[in-house]
Structure 1
Amino acid sequence: MHNLEGTMVEIGRVIHQRYLLQRLIQQGQACIVYQGLDQVLQRAVTIKVVPAQHISEYRTAIQLTSQFNHPNIVGIYDLIVEPDVLYIVQEYVDGRNFSALLQTQLSAFEVADLGVQVCRALLYAGTVARKVCHGDLTPASLLRDNRGLVRINNFAMPSDLNYFAAWNVLGGDGQVASDRELPWGQLSEGRRADDIRALGLLLYQLLCGKSPGTMVVEPPPDGRLRFMRNTPPELCNVVARSIVCQHPQRIVTADVLYTELKVIADALEPPPPTVVLTPLRQTDSFAPPQYKLAGANSGQLVNAMPGHDTTGLGAGYGTNSGLLEAPPAAATVADLSASMANAPQGAYAAAHISGALPEPASRPNLLLLFLLGLGLFGLFFAIGYYLSQMIFAH
């Protein structure tokens, strides 16, 4: 590893009068990574500080990938060049790195889905219009955000030759990296196969038997593949075919690996949680209990709310209960309002007939009131006339 102590930047420094360094994330082989804040757009960013000896390779990688726009690839926001250092401002991914994923007991579905997402990124970069390989698909290049979206970093960077040399014991052919005479990031058949093998190694590290809390998986000394118990054999087979160079059915392209992993992921995907909506029972309504007479002359009141059903026929239908059939619980005001709002006029009239709605109060008989008033007027007139005759007669 190169000595990057001279590249360390103090926390709190503002780069280019815009990007505030907030905390150190990690120190890699060729750069130091910080979390920062874009003070103009007020968003979290990742800032890579690259020393002078690595500026050329990073600038080449950025030229190849600056136009990438894919949900599984970490985006590049800005590039700041100073005389002896390069600052790369990238999208900040809030989630887990590969070491954290190793400590998590991922399901077989999650591992297969992770592989599917990485294949999508490789397919995007390897189109005819781009022709870019990853070249350095190591644990340091993979993140998974808090929504489960896999994000790939470090496209077109030089291969970590020490990492791939160590893992060559597991199904390798003695060749650490293909086509090393080509510029880094330039796609070739050999490099396409190298990316697939690198992805297979990542999937194997997530599936192999390891002790709890493991943050780094070392290559097996005997070069044998060992998967965890209960790992689906189909998934083991696909991972082995992507790793073992001598396998008669070796997988060397992203489209083939994507197709096979997608079939496995679809078969293993757990069903979405189902929400069971329990209908409101009559006893759950907030209408007051309704009562009616049990017999014509008994005077006994019987609760019309449904009782316990022991016959399987429904509440109120006991064969030997001796009680009258219990009517359904009265509808609440909300129930009637909702039903009447959407009902036609005929239904509203029918509701009156059936008793669901109260009948409006009877209008008073105006003719009867008029005759009664006329009679009272004649009575008072006769009494007044009789009294006046008596007074004036004396």
Structure 2
Amino acid sequence: MAHTLFGPGIWPGDWVWATSAAGALVALIPAAGTLIVAIIRKGTGNRYDAVTLSVFAAIAVVTVVVLPWLLANGISETFRAVNAGNGAAAGLSTGELSTFDAKFPVVGVQQTYLGAGQNVYETLFYPKGAQLSYVYYLIALVALPVGSLFFIMLQGRTAFRRGPKWPGRFFWISFILLFFLSVTMEANTAVHFWLGFLPFTVLGLIPVALVGPPPWSVINRPEPRHEPEPQRPPVQKPLPPPPPPPKAYPATALAKAPEPPPLLAAAPGPVPMPPGSRNAGGSRYRRVRRLGHGGFGTVWEAVDTQLNRTVALKIAHAPDRDTEERMQREARALAAVNHPNCVRVYDLVEEPDGLALVMEYLEGRPLAEIVDGQGPMDDVAAGRLWSTMAGALAAAHEKGVLHRDVKPSNVVVDPGGLAHLIDFGIARSQGDSKMTATGMMIGTPDFVAPEQAMGAQASPASDAWQLAATVSYALSGQPPRGTRETPMAALMAAARADPVTHLPQRSAHARILSASLDPEPRRRPTLAFVRREIEGWLARAGKSPDGPVTRIVPRQHR
């Protein structure tokens, strides 16, 4: 068929050209295999169970080893049969056989050139002829397959985009097996076969790339749950004898028994207040200096005079019912989250000037101040920042708590270089009422997710967008949508889902940043996926994910 499609009677000969054409056609078979895998992954995503892995392995073996080897070996055997005078048994017509006698410069008679001589193994390990001829065969029979191997690997990696790369081994390991099986081909036949095979492995990348990776909605789809088998009811055991009646104690002894101290709620619910904390005339917290002033309260550095420790005291601006509910919600949110990179809450008390939240005091500087003063971070520091903050947010989401205002000023880097997520002041548990005052903006415009700016309900994907925007700022020194003249203009840009134009293009994290800042929430990768990808990149770079995040890009490289 290859001779019919492409067999010009010019040097080096029609059958030599047909051999290269056959190699090109055979190269389309592995490309078809990777194309099939890419199409299957559109529906399965990264769900690699025994069935999908078996299917992918079978596709790789059939399309990269079995079919190409059968065709390549058949081509070589056909030329051997023609050279031995058995061309008719190989299925060739009399007219086709007559063309084998054509003689061309350098090549000579085609049937001798293609059907006689040493095979690949003999040519490489037991060469005959001049040294220059051996160098020619060494380059052609090794360099061409190695180049083809490289592009087969690229096809496999392209088919397994947005997921683990290791399943791509099915294809390149199969190709290595094909190469070793092909050493029985005639050397000249193999040279022209690989000459046609190599360029079409390059072209085979195009359809696989056009299919594209599976959508994030498929990748982020939860695994199907298998209900456990119903268990047999346990055998009833005889009940133990009833315990003896409780010992009677005098009333005076009961009066002296200490009562357990009230605890802060460990899960969303009513926040218990310490007895006597309401309407207290004084305060156990001595204020040292004001740390900040926000929309919902003023934060002070204070000293707990009873425990002799420094704390952060956040006091509501207006002691009305709505503000009190906000503070209680913040206390519930923080009490429900237990993560080393999240600020901890100690207590909720009534101060003389309002309801106050007592929190862990973190020494350090906001990420915004660090980047403004020292410049953007490098990829390693930003990767560590992204990984730790993704873990902190994931811990909050597991408790049903959304942050909703992740931004550079709400990430504090302590003197040891570790990042901490602070200010859950507008956090709320999923399912709580929004309780947002009319006209009050939720989040910071430059770092607000598009769906939040449009008034849609926030979600874990919204926090993921804001975290990606914060990491982008750490890498570039600018918000991903750039800056606007007024907060309202920035909010309008977010509501319009204006494209992100200030991403750090030279960063190793540019690809996943672009995906995480997708305007459509369902297309964004989850925090768990992002954390896995970033920690994998750090591991390949030989870096620990829990190191400091204070390394700054030198000015000459910015």
TM-score range, shorter-chain basis?
0.5 to 0.7
> Which amino acid is the alignment partner of residue 240 of structure 1?
S
Provide the rounded CA distance (Å) in 1 between the counterparts of 2:307 and 2:328. 24
The TM-score normalised by the length of structure 2 is 0.38
Contact 2:343/2:360 (<8 A) preserved: yes
Provide the rounded CA distance (Å) in 1 between the counterparts of 2:305 and 2:360. 14
Is 1:49 the counterpart of 2:315? The answer is: yes
Is 1:29 the counterpart of 2:295? The answer is: yes
1:213-232 correspondence runs (5 A): 218=483, 223-228=499-504, 230-232=506-508
Is 1:200 the counterpart of 2:485? The answer is: no
Q: In proportion to residue count, which structure has more helix?
A: 2
Cα 1:164–1:16 change in 2 (3 A) is same
- Quote how far apart the aligned CAs of 1:27 are: 0.8
Once the two structures are superposed, residues 285-320 of structure 1 have per-residue CA deviations (whole angstroms, 9 ceiling, x without a partner) of xxxxxxxxxxxxxxxxxxxxxxxxxxxxxxxxxxxx
Provide the rounded CA distance (Å) in 1 between the counterparts of 2:314 and 2:522. 42
> Which amino acid is the alignment partner of residue 208 of structure 1?
S
- The counterpart of 2:403, out of the listed 115, 134, 140, is 134
Provide the rounded CA distance (Å) in 1 between the counterparts of 2:521 and 2:405. 23
- Quote how far apart the aligned CAs of 1:65 are: 2.7
Is 1:250 the counterpart of 2:524? The answer is: yes
> Which amino acid is the alignment partner of residue 384 of structure 2?
D
- Quote how far apart the aligned CAs of 1:261 are: 1.9
Other structure's SS at 2:512 match: helix
Contact 1:116/1:261 (<8 A) preserved: yes
- Quote how far apart the aligned CAs of 1:98 are: 2.5
Once the two structures are superposed, residues 199-219 of structure 1 have per-residue CA deviations (whole angstroms, 9 ceiling, x without a partner) of 111111112255xxx9xx736
- Quote how far apart the aligned CAs of 1:23 are: 0.7
Aligned residue in 1 for 2:379: 108
Other structure's SS at 1:244 match: coil
Is 1:73 the counterpart of 2:353? The answer is: no
The TM-score normalised by the length of structure 1 is 0.53
Contact 2:345/2:360 (<8 A) preserved: yes
Other structure's SS at 2:300 match: strand
CA RMSD between the two structures: 3.3
Contact 1:161/1:177 (<8 A) preserved: no
Provide the rounded CA distance (Å) in 1 between the counterparts of 2:442 and 2:336. 30
Other structure's SS at 1:40 match: coil
- The counterpart of 1:259, out of the listed 532, 535, 549, is 532
Contact 2:472/2:504 (<8 A) preserved: no
Q: How many residues align?
A: 237
1:1-394 correspondence runs (5 A): 16-51=282-317, 52-53=319-320, 54-82=323-351, 85-103=354-372, 104-105=374-375, 106-127=377-398, 130-155=399-424, 156-157=427-428, 161=441, 163-167=443-447, 172=450, 175-179=453-457, 191-208=459-476, 218=483, 223-228=499-504, 230-232=506-508, 235-246=509-520, 250-251=524-525, 253-268=526-541, 270=543
Provide the rounded CA distance (Å) in 2 between the counterparts of 1:164 and 1:177. 14
Contact 2:369/2:409 (<8 A) preserved: no
Other structure's SS at 2:461 match: helix
Other structure's SS at 2:306 match: coil
- Quote how far apart the aligned CAs of 1:166 are: 4.7
Aligned residue in 1 for 2:241: none
Work out which structure has the larger RCO, using CA pairs closer than 8 Å and 6 or more positions apart in sequence: 2
Aligned residue in 1 for 2:274: none
Cα 1:165–1:123 change in 2 (3 A) is same
Contact 2:300/2:314 (<8 A) preserved: yes
Other structure's SS at 1:66 match: helix
Aligned residue in 1 for 2:148: none
Provide the rounded CA distance (Å) in 2 between the counterparts of 1:229 and 1:248. 24
Other structure's SS at 1:199 match: helix
Provide the rounded CA distance (Å) in 2 between the counterparts of 1:247 and 1:68. 24
Provide the rounded CA distance (Å) in 2 between the counterparts of 1:142 and 1:223. 25
- Quote how far apart the aligned CAs of 1:41 are: 2.3
- Quote how far apart the aligned CAs of 1:89 are: 1.1
Q: In proportion to residue count, which structure has more strand?
A: 1
- Quote how far apart the aligned CAs of 1:242 are: 0.9
Provide the rounded CA distance (Å) in 2 between the counterparts of 1:162 and 1:247. 17
User: Over alpha carbons, which structure has the higher Rg?
Assistant: 1
Contact 1:165/1:176 (<8 A) preserved: no
Other structure's SS at 2:295 match: coil
- Quote how far apart the aligned CAs of 1:131 are: 1.9
